[in-house]
Amino acid sequence: MAQIEFVRGIKEEVVPDIRMTSSKDGSNGRAFFIFEQPNALAPDFNQEITGMYLVDEEGELVTRDVKGKFVNGVAQDLEVIYTWKTTAERERFMRFMERYAAENGLGFTKAE
C-alpha cells in the first residue's frame, strides 16, 4: 500500500506528474508533484489541505510545501515540492516512490 493524501486518511485518486532533481551524489534534492484537478480541490471536498502525506507500510513522509494554481479564480492544480537533505531521506523517498509507481502504473526515466 502506497498512497498520497492531502488530508490524513483520505486518499488522493489523481496520479500526479512527478519530476525529480538532486545533487550529483544524491544526498539532497527535490521532487516536484503536479496534480491536475485533484479530488482535494473538488467543490464538494470540504476538508482543509494541511500538507501532502506520502503513506506506505513504512510510515509517512510529509511536506507542507503545497500551492494551489488558480485560473480565473478557480482552483485547477496543486503543485507540491518534497525536499530531502540526506541520503537516508532520499532512499526512504525512493522506496515510497517505487511502491507508488508500481501501484499506479508509473515509469521512471533518468535524465541524460
* C-alpha span between 41 and 6 (Å, rounded): 10
Q: Does any domain span residue 112?
A: no
The pLDDT, as a whole number, for residue 53 is 98
Report yes or no on whether pTM surpasses 0.75: yes
Using 70 as the pLDDT threshold, list the residues of the chain that sit under it. Answer: 108-112
For 47-62, the pLDDT digits (tens) are: 999 999 999 999 999 9
What CATH number is attached to the domain comprising 27? 2.40.30.220
- Rg of the Cα atoms in the chain: 14
Residue 97: domain span: 2-9+16-104
The pLDDT, as a whole number, for residue 43 is 86
Q: Does any domain span residue 74?
A: yes
Q: How many domains does the chain have?
A: 1
Q: Does any domain span residue 111?
A: no
Looking at residue 99, the DSSP 8-state letter turns out to be: H
Nearest by Cα to 37 from 68, 83, 63: 68
